[in-house]
Amino acid sequence: MAKDPSNPVENPGGYRPDDPRYGLSGQALQDYYLSQPPQWFIRSMYAPDALDRRAQAMAEHLAYQQKFRDKVHFAGPLLSDDGSAPLGTMAIIEMPDRAAAEAYVAGDGFARAGMLEPPTITRFVSSKRLKHFDRAPDPDLQLFVCECLDGPDAATLRPQTAADHHAYQGSIIDRYMAHGPLRGDDGVALLGSLFLIEVADRNTAELLVANEPMTAGGVFGAVNIHRWRLGKSLS
């Protein structure tokens, strides 16, 4: 029998048929999230004088990235909107807990050189089974990482927008390299959503997020969008 995503009994969360969460809700959905190897989204912005030390620290940074090659799902520099200036680094890495993710950041050559501001580290579960090497970026497009953080009424508003949210993602699924919920360290609390997208430019990235039903529905209280590129150290 064909799947019917719109059937609230068969698929109470409104997930797409190709989504591993299809048909799950309540404890079964929570068990799914907890069964996934913990991933961590890490955003580290450069300190004001970091670029003065970047060239000297680069070799150590690249070697360190290679050491964790099998654990890194995505990584690369955050860039200015025109792509000319590095502003920081981001990674999605598989680590057992927050302490291990923090240790990963602390051991990086850029951190050891004092280049990084205190990092943002948030647990993440990707709904798309892609990693760094699974998809070559389109040279005519740009990559953006979009952090969408829940507002104070998210718990009430999210269920009201879930079906439209998943339908919207399905309509532009080829634009995503990764997407999924940001969660608390325990893997249970829901904090927001993360999108790694490939689009024409920043205006298009902002429009994609603005048209997201959870944005229009007031679920997200804050949105951070940064241009980035895939790190050459993992190529």
In angstroms, the CA 70 to CA 104 distance is 13
**10 Å Cβ neighbour count for 39?**
24
The reply to whether 135-228 shares the fold of 39-131 is yes
Of the candidates 188, 201, 192, the residue with the CA atom closest to the CA atom of residue 223: 192
* pLDDT for res 1: 56
Q: How many residues does the chain have?
A: 235
* pLDDT for res 30: 79
**10 Å Cβ neighbour count for 107?**
13
Of the candidates 135, 101, 136, 134, the residue with the CA atom closest to the CA atom of residue 120: 101
CATH topology of domain 39-131: Alpha-Beta Plaits (3.30.70)
Q: Are 166 and 173 in contact (CB under 8 A)?
A: no
Q: Could you give phi then psi for residue 62, rounded to 5 degrees?
A: -65, -40
* pLDDT for res 17: 82
The whole model's pTM is what?
0.91
Q: Are 39 and 51 in contact (CB under 8 A)?
A: no
* pLDDT for res 2: 62
Radius of gyration of the chain (CA): 18
Q: Which H or E run includes 184?
A: none
* pLDDT for res 131: 83
Burial 110-139 (b: 16+ CB within 10 A, else e): bbebebbeebebbbbbbbbeebbeeeeeee
* pLDDT for res 39: 96
Interior CA angle at 122 toward 127 and 29, to 5°? 40
pLDDT, block means (10 residues), the chain with 235 residues:
67 76 81 87 97 94 93 96 96 97 98 98 88 86 98 96 91 93 94 98 98 97 97 74
CATH 3.30.70.1060 fits 135-228, yes or no: yes
Interior CA angle at 141 toward 140 and 144, to 5°? 160
Per-domain residue ranges of the chain: 39-131, 135-228
- On the CB side of 151, CA atoms within 13 Å amount to 14
CA 89 to chain centre: 13
* pLDDT for res 176: 94
